[in-house]
Homo-oligomer: A and B are copies of this chain.
Amino acid sequence: MRARVTIMPKRNVLDPQGKAVVRAIHQIGMEIVHDARVGKIVEIEIAGNDAESVRPKLEEICRDLLSNPVIEDYRLEFEK
């Protein structure tokens, strides 16, 4: 199975990469874009299909290894 971890900057944290994307989009004339946020995505391939048995350990990995909980939020999803 595959686990997909989406890591985004928290709403109240400044996101300079996102700001740069908005500026670049405006420069090519698409003014209807008013915000952008840039995050990371990690796709993890795992042997077996038992999502619930690996979830606690993966939550730990998301929190301690893949994200910075001070400035980022993560979301963990499974695909069979």
Contact = CB atoms under 8 A, between A and B. Distances in A.
Interface string A17-47: 0100100110010101111111111111111
Contact of A37 (B25, B30, B42, B65): B42
A44 to B, nearest CB: 5
A6 B60 CA distance: 24
Given A39-B40, A40-B39, A32 B48 contact: yes
Interface residues of A, number: 31
A24 to B, nearest CB: 6
A45 B57 contact: no
Nearest to A36: B44
A55 to B, nearest CB: 12
